[in-house]
Structure 1
Amino acid sequence: MYDVIGIGIGPYNLGMAAILEDLPEIEAIFFDKTDEFIWHPGMLIEGTDLQVPFLADLVTFCNPRSKYTFINYLHVHNRLYPFYFFNRFDIPRREYSEYAAWAAKEIQCCRFGSCVTHVEYKKGETPHYEVHVENKEGTQVYQTRHVVMGTGSIPLLPFETEPAEDVFHSSDYMFRQESLKKKKSITVIGSGQSAAEIFLDLLQSQDLFDYELSWFTRSAGFTQLESAKLGQEVFSPDFVSYFHDLTFEQRKKALPELEQLRNGVDKTTLVSIYDLLYHRSIHGKDARVKIMPLTDVKDLMADGEKYVLKCHQWQSDTSFDHTTEGVVFATGFKPNIPEWIEGMKDEIIWEDEKLFKVEKDFRLAFKDGRKEGIYTLTNLEHSHGTGATNLALSVDRNMKIINSILGKEHFKDQGKNVFQQFMP
């Protein structure tokens, strides 16, 4: 009987596993269907950085002395001096991926190549969950008192379309970029950091490959990520606690106001794009670039080797067609809710027809009030706010979950660390 079984090993559950390795009173095991740790491999573009400081690693906010801190990773790999001279608070995305992969190999309770196919609650003298796991040896059944669901997210497309070699989601960009750049025209759809990074990479290669390049978004503009220090305080345990205490209607109303804090583009990326466009404009080389906000792409239709995008400029209520040979949908992600949750649908309390209720300690709310928890690390925006799944808050979330499992405050509350107050 395990105390905890983690389903999915992304950065969130990996951080949970790292913390639990130093807590012998909790016996845990974590499963992931992939053969090894891999973090957004399709978006590890050379020169791109994390949008959070390196302190938002797997464990530092819980235990800066842990062997799994980013600083210790640098020490182990003889990279402390290069990082010191690098003199940056943010870190390359590729280096974060390699750091997390290193931790995944070191942590003893991580099991890769193991797909969780079913989870069932068993009542009785010792209530628990049965977790069915498929791997190369077949199917094993494990028992646990608690489950931590870290199943991540999956690509979100704006409408029904079949992915192809030249039409794909941004999560596949690094795998498809070589063939994509051989096209005569490419269109990027979306306005967030991923869209901007892909557009910049394509812009930098445009002279070499000589394609037309377009960038569309339905947003009103290509806005900069909020970087003001007071603005960043919404990514704090204090704000998450405040947000959860709001009513469901108040939370739904507040979410759009918080979107720019998470979905804007880093200033350096926007500056790099504009500077490159400006330098090219000196010699009139900007004619093969089209950038359009306020543009909703409604549909995509194949036309021989090309595609026709059905577009609508919503502010002026003007529809138009755009022809292109390649399309990258940088349109974000949606929560990856496993099928076995459907089997518990009638046992769960729902805030509306699609969103399950999540308690303050990140447990799903069940009608029977069971003590055995299913904790969720994703699909938390409606319950804990836009910043709830930010890497900087993942450690605090894991600490709260561990406290809940132990039934005591093993880790001290990390609130009251911001200068703002969100309630009178």
Structure 2
Amino acid sequence: MTEMYDVVGIGVGPYNLGLAALMDDTELNAVFFEKTPEFVWHPGMLVEQMDLQVPFLADLATFADPKSRFTFMNYLYENDRMFPFFFHQHFKVPRQEYNDYLQWVAGQLSSIRFGHTVIDVIDHNEGESPHYQVVAEETATGKKVYVKAKHVVMGTGNEPLVLNGMDGFPNEDVIHSSRYLFEKEHLLKAKHVTVVGSGQSALEVFLDLLEEQERQDMKLTLFTRTGGLFQLDQAKFAQEMFTPDYVDYFHNLSLDQRKEALDTLKPLRKGIDPDTLTQLYTRLYHRTAGGKEARVLIQPMTEVKEIEGVDGGYKLHCRQWQEEHDYTYDSEKVVLATGYKPHIPDWFMKRFKDKVKWEAENMYKVTRDYQLDFGDNRDHHFFTLTNLVHSHGAGATNLGLSVHRNVHIINAIAGKTLYKNQQDTSFQQFSMRDFSQN
């Protein structure tokens, strides 16, 4: 007989890993499938001396249960890192240590099955016990595993976004930033490397290459589409846009209002960490002391429209959009820090595209509790952690808010409060619906 679970998780990144950790301390019966053989978080971007953009409290469990054994503080305690962290006096966590923390948590969870790719999910919406049948394939053997679940949580994450006209080139020449460390050796052998992008990943790659730029004949270029290198808005009241209170407000807006709100929140979503910008400026200042040549070009307001292969490298077709000036630029290697797009599996589009409601193309309708809207009164739910920016705002990709999201999901599955839902999380009041004049 096929085993019935309360919930099956599809994909194990930080979001579903946090869900698995919180569920491990409940009576809920869960299994999580992940296609990779072990947990690893953005392996191509674990650049040394680079920190997370959120404080250490935004771990997998603290916002739901500070007493959990899966908190970052307990990780430090168990690994004899408490005193070094205390003396370090830094609120943010190095990326490499955060990855080690995630692996430490994953190693304690028996509910995760690594090396299993979900290839199908079938909705059984009739009969006395509606459920989902999940089919996973074991990578090593090709063996298929069948399980049943009352609920499903899809956490299939994002995949690299490579724009049209920039794909199809050798991996060691035109590289998405997600593969940066894997191809770094090839980049350092080049005489000219161009980084394309305006966000944190672009600056981290550019700064790391600048630190390694030892040869006098190596040139580095950075093209950013934005009007400049603008820092992340870390003001206290601006950060309240990541609170549950603001998510409540945002979710109740119309789609057009949400799109407009996302535009106004770009400094919170797309900005660069101030410490990274300071490091870059300081490095350039010291590099040019005494009249030395920087061997660096930083060009904002430039959109790379297309990449063309030529003898000895690549020709970038560019446009300075403010001056409306088109030009070409030669480079031996190119790093595309062009971001990511939601990864929606093929089986989802096959099985569920016509069953769920959509707000717009590629934007399915999601309830406040992160359930896909089927338009019926089903009590077996399909939750999603993927593709939520349009429905839940800038906080959809925030590590701290992911714990709050998991609290919503766990309580909905359990049908009762297993974890406290934080209330009154903002000093600001966003909606006039709740306005009262005292």
Tell me which of 385, 392, 402 is aligned to 1:384.
392
- 1:179 equivalent to 2:186? Answer yes
Query: Counterpart amino acid of 2:70?
Result: Y
- 1:132 equivalent to 2:114? Answer no
In structure 1, the partner of 2:69 is 67
| TM-score (structure 1 length as normaliser) | 0.98
Q: What are the residue-to-residue correspondences of 1:14-413 with 2, within 5 Å?
A: 14-24=17-27, 26-122=28-124, 123-135=126-138, 136-137=140-141, 138-160=143-165, 161-164=167-170, 165-208=172-215, 210-286=217-293, 288-343=295-350, 344-413=352-421
| TM-score (structure 2 length as normaliser) | 0.94
- Following superposition, the deviation at residue 209 of structure 1 comes to 6.3
Q: Distance in 1 between matches of 2:422 and 2:217?
A: 53
- Following superposition, the deviation at residue 191 of structure 1 comes to 1.0
Contact 2:65 2:419 in 1 (8 A): no
Q: Distance in 2 between matches of 1:409 and 1:286?
A: 62
Contact 1:181 1:209 in 2 (8 A): no
- Following superposition, the deviation at residue 357 of structure 1 comes to 0.2
Deviations 1:326-358 (Å, cap 9, x if unpaired)?
A: 100011110011111112111110101221000
Deviations 1:44-91 (Å, cap 9, x if unpaired)?
A: 111000000101101011111111111111111111111111111101
Q: Distance in 1 between matches of 2:216 and 2:286?
A: 18
Contact 1:277 1:286 in 2 (8 A): no
Decide which moves more: 274-283 or 92-101.
274-283
- Following superposition, the deviation at residue 15 of structure 1 comes to 0.4
Q: Distance in 1 between matches of 2:270 and 2:226?
A: 11
**Relative to 1, partners in 2 of residues 1:189 and 1:201: Cα closer, same or farther, differing over 3 Å?**
same
Q: Distance in 1 between matches of 2:215 and 2:128?
A: 69
- Following superposition, the deviation at residue 115 of structure 1 comes to 0.5
Q: Distance in 1 between matches of 2:301 and 2:423?
A: 39
- Following superposition, the deviation at residue 383 of structure 1 comes to 0.3
Contact 1:119 1:132 in 2 (8 A): yes
Contact 2:232 2:274 in 1 (8 A): yes
Count of aligned positions: 423
Deviations 1:263-300 (Å, cap 9, x if unpaired)?
A: 11111110111111122222333452111111000000
Contact 1:185 1:324 in 2 (8 A): yes
Kindly, what percent of the aligned residue pairs are identical? 51
Gaps of 5+ in 1: none
In structure 1, the partner of 2:435 is none
Query: Counterpart amino acid of 2:62?
Result: T
Gaps of 5+ in 2: 433-438
Q: Distance in 2 between matches of 1:251 and 1:221?
A: 25
Q: Distance in 1 between matches of 2:18 and 2:271?
A: 26
Query: Counterpart amino acid of 1:199?
Result: F
